[in-house]
Amino acid sequence: MNCDFSNAALTDAAMDGMRLEGAVFSQAILEGVSLIGSSFSFASGSWGYTDLDEQSYTVNYNATVLDTDTTMAVCPSSSPGPCDTVEELTPIVPPNPVVPACVPSEEYCCDLTTNQPVSCLF
């Protein structure tokens, strides 16, 4: 979310399933880019989650800016570019808001093998 890809050369990048709400692609090179299942925003919005310490986080975003040539890209709908209609920019299966299983905090660490919270005191 809210990434700035302005003027980036993203040739052949695999961006499948990414949350691209609020991203800016102004003048980016998207030749061969795969965006299958990625989510774009058509208006401002927000996404949020609560961590293990009951701390809430909210990310605000604007509409995704895609003012570049997408003729040679694969759209979120899995159709070939150009990706210039709502239908082509809508993923086949909309992504669910992913709530991380483990968010590190002062009180908890994450066990990378199980992705579960563990004590940070060793």
Is residue 36 within 8 Å of residue 80, measured between CB atoms?
A: no
Domain that holds residue 5: 1-122
pTM reported for the whole predicted model: 0.70
The tally of domains found in the chain comes to 1
pLDDT at 112: 67
Nearest-angstrom CA–CA distance, 49 and 17: 19
| Per-residue pLDDT of the chain in tens (122 residues, 90 and over written 9) | 999 999 999 999 999 999 999 999 999 999 999 999 999 999 999 988 888 888 888 999 999 999 889 999 999 999 999 999 999 998 876 555 555 566 666 666 766 677 666 776 65
pLDDT at 48: 87
Q: Please report where in the chains the tokens 């003012």 appear, as a residue.
A: 67
What string of DSSP letters covers 16-77? TT-B-TT-B-TT-B-TT-B-TT-B--SS-EEEEEE-TTS-EEEEEE---B--S--TTSB-TT
55: its two tokens: 């701390």
